[in-house]
Chains A and B, each alone.
Chain A
């Protein structure tokens, strides 16, 4: 196969990129400590690690999104320090994020070629160039199609193909295959091999352990901001990788209480939501916390959204307190006592420019209706009260919430959910991006909920959190519940094995 773009000149013995002792302290309890990583020309270096172990953060630090506190980065032997992603890109270091940077309103071809063409762009040229690459790699996409009409996995492919259109020295792919099916992965691997042939160094972040041998040359394991191992892919077994990834378990620090479970309050049978969920069934009891985990793209959030009627369900039944219920809008969900704390606080929950009062009460206003309007004094008092009980800081009713820290914003969203006085709480990544103290408060608030008879489904990618807080744990993989275990029998290894099993 001839490479679609001329290779960048290289000396095979000098690493394309060499990172030495890279360190950076972040807010909260996370830090990158003395990371050493390198990638040779034409090599695929796979990076694995649990969610939150720091894989993406390393890459963001290398490419200038976060300035490092110390450490050295060499590109083809000469030291570099990028001040921005843009600078990194100009130097030939391309970072393909998990959040795809593509334009829905442009054609596939333009998305692939626009950046590399710059001023030489013409629509015809772009289409031709794109078709050339697609033919070369046997990609079954239409270059002239509007990007917005593609599925998520196909968009992931486009994002990776984009890196082929530019003569890159180093390409960083961050979980490129999370939503891909087998056939799409075949194409992905062809693209990565093409990059390899060109002498590009590839960092390939992945959760799927089965991919490592197929595409990787070397593999490194990241755990809690440290690099704990690096070795050629053929020298490591799957089990030893899982062990390295999990490290020592930290689930004893979670304040879990045990509530005697009551009758089933929510029963889901054969729920299907194309193309993510194929067949999901489970029961939730009164006073119970179920933990649902799975890899990126396993459908955790999709499941939460299906339950509250935010996303369509193709088949299956949902029974709430013994009655088969069809929920088609979030408003109906609230009326049935189902309350969601969404994963993406900024986009899906917060009214950043409104005050605390509005943010906390917005979904419970009917509680304060009087003959003449809203009972504002009561509202303000109650908001103050909630702020005090949840230690929202400073917690004054008129505070503009956009100015709060992530932890306090999240606690305000939790307060909103509580004020609804629901019976079934769906918490989607409730502690993502919040400080440790706020985490502790949120866990204890969860205990308060179940002690008073409500039930919780905790959707989380943080396995320690799931192990620490959930009474029962379910692992989502390939659109179904791949396995279920009780708090007592669950281990990190068992969860990871179920989540990554193909």
Chain B
């Protein structure tokens, strides 16, 4: 697959981190783009302070001159990329100063991580990992809902968690589901999550369902509501045309993770 500028830059960074220096020619054949393109990318990275251009190539700058810490949650691989895509859309929906609830889940954890860019966001969650990620962000605030920890040790459920949650009102609730059935029912894999979600939807002004496109059309056993519960759905752009039109017809805002504009303005 042809790479967009952003991806090329990621590859160049990786290459430079490993090799410390690079030739324009080598990068050009590695990325199969023209040397002009590589030079342009290098120029961009020089602006960022990542490298210093040399005659015919570039050298990486010492680490203390660069920023951008590596993400904690993996973004590599097909699955990682798809989850990260969904998280990127989720983050776009959260405004500075919002109070949101992130129910436990992989995408929601990635949303939590990326809240770094925001200010004054209050996050309510039952997921220990999410709580820990947000607590490191100096500009945001997190409330971890206590309760019975599940055996995996990552999230709390049960009546105590629900009881705790009831004290709050949130603007947006992000529910990561494990499947949306062909009849547009929302399902999760565990009863305890179904119970929690059913209870907390009442607390939110807007409920947003997060579901990877390959889980739409599948059931995950515990149904907790029909699609009408959702104000919005976040999914991948690869969702079939049929579901896209059905969700639109149900009056639900469908956010798909389309990444088509190359780079940034």
User: Interface residues, chain A, CB within 8 Å of chain B?
Assistant: 29, 250, 252-259, 286, 370, 375, 378, 381-382, 384-386, 388-391, 393, 415, 418-419, 421, 423, 435-441, 444-445, 447-449, 451-454
Contact = CB atoms under 8 A, between A and B. Distances in A.
B262 interface: yes
Contacts of A453: 264-265
Contacts of A440: 244-245, 247-248, 254, 256
B81 to A, nearest CB: 13
A282 to B, nearest CB: 20
B254 A255 contact: yes
Contacts of A393: 241
Contact of A448 (B241, B244, B254, B260): B260
A381 B265 CA distance: 23
A454 B231 CA distance: 27
Given A421-B263, A440-B256, 10 more contacts: A29-B249, A252-B252, A257-B255, A370-B34, A437-B248, A444-B237, A444-B254, A444-B257, A445-B258, A447-B92
B174 to A, nearest CB: 14
Contact of A255 (B251, B253, B261, B264): B253
Interface of B: 1-2, 4, 32-34, 89, 92-93, 95, 231-232, 237-238, 241-242, 244-245, 247-265
A421 B40 CA distance: 15
A413 B265 CA distance: 20
Contacts of B241: 391, 393, 435, 437-438
A386 to B, nearest CB: 7
Q: Is the interface of B mostly helix, strand, loop or mixed?
A: loop
Nearest to A383: B2
Given A256-B253, A436-B245, A390 B33 contact: no
A389 B253 contact: no
A454 B261 contact: yes
Contacts, number: 114
A375 B32 CA distance: 11
Contacts of B32: 378
A375 B260 contact: no
B263 A452 contact: yes
B262 A421 contact: yes
A448 B248 contact: no
B95 A423 contact: no
A250 B250 CA distance: 10
B253 A441 contact: no
A385 B258 contact: no
3 pairs of A and B residues whose beta carbons are closest in the complex: A453-B265, A437-B241, A436-B245
A404 B237 CA distance: 20
Contacts of B93: 257-258
B239 to A, nearest CB: 9
B238 to A, nearest CB: 7
Contacts of A384: 2
Contacts of A257: 89, 92-93, 255
A252 B248 contact: no
Given A437-B244, A440-B244, A252 B264 contact: no
A452 B261 contact: yes
A301 B208 CA distance: 36
Given A381-B2, A391-B237, A435 B258 contact: no
A440 to B, nearest CB: 5
Nearest to A28: B245
22 contacts: A29-B249, A255-B256, A257-B92, A370-B34, A378-B33, A378-B34, A381-B1, A385-B1, A389-B260, A391-B238, A393-B241, A418-B262, A435-B241, A436-B245, A436-B248, A437-B241, A444-B254, A444-B255, A444-B257, A447-B92, A448-B258, A453-B264
A252 B92 contact: no
A448 B257 CA distance: 8
B256 A444 contact: yes
B167 to A, nearest CB: 28
Contact of A449 (B1, B2, B251, B261): B261
A441 B237 contact: yes
B259 A389 contact: yes
B254 A423 contact: no
B245 A435 contact: yes
A349 B181 CA distance: 39
Nearest to B249: A29
Given A435-B241, A447-B92, A390 B258 contact: yes
Contacts of A385: 1-2, 4
A438 B45 CA distance: 36
Contact of A451 (B1, B92, B237, B242): B92
A390 B260 contact: yes
Nearest to B244: A437
Nearest to B231: A252
Given A255-B254, A440-B244, A444-B256, A454 B2 contact: no
A465 to B, nearest CB: 12
Contacts of A419: 262
B198 to A, nearest CB: 22
A90 B195 CA distance: 68
Contacts of B232: 255
A437 to B, nearest CB: 4
B4 to A, nearest CB: 8
Q: Which of A389, A415, A440, A449 has the most CB of B within 10 A?
A: A440
A35 B33 CA distance: 59
Contact of A441 (B34, B244, B249, B264): B244
Nearest to B250: A253
Nearest to A257: B92
Given A258-B95, A389-B237, A439 B260 contact: no
A255 B245 CA distance: 13
A439 to B, nearest CB: 7
Contacts of A418: 260-262
A447 B255 contact: yes
Nearest to B5: A421
A447 B153 CA distance: 37
Which of B4, B251, B254, B255 lies at the interface centre, i.e. has the most chain A CB atoms within 10 A of its CB? B254
A307 B75 CA distance: 42
A386 B4 CA distance: 10
B2 A378 contact: yes
A454 B262 CA distance: 11
Contacts of A258: 92-93, 95
Contacts of B254: 253, 255, 440, 444
B265 A439 contact: no
Contact of B265 (A253, A391, A423): A423
A382 B261 contact: no
Nearest to A377: B32
A389 B241 CA distance: 14
A253 B253 contact: yes
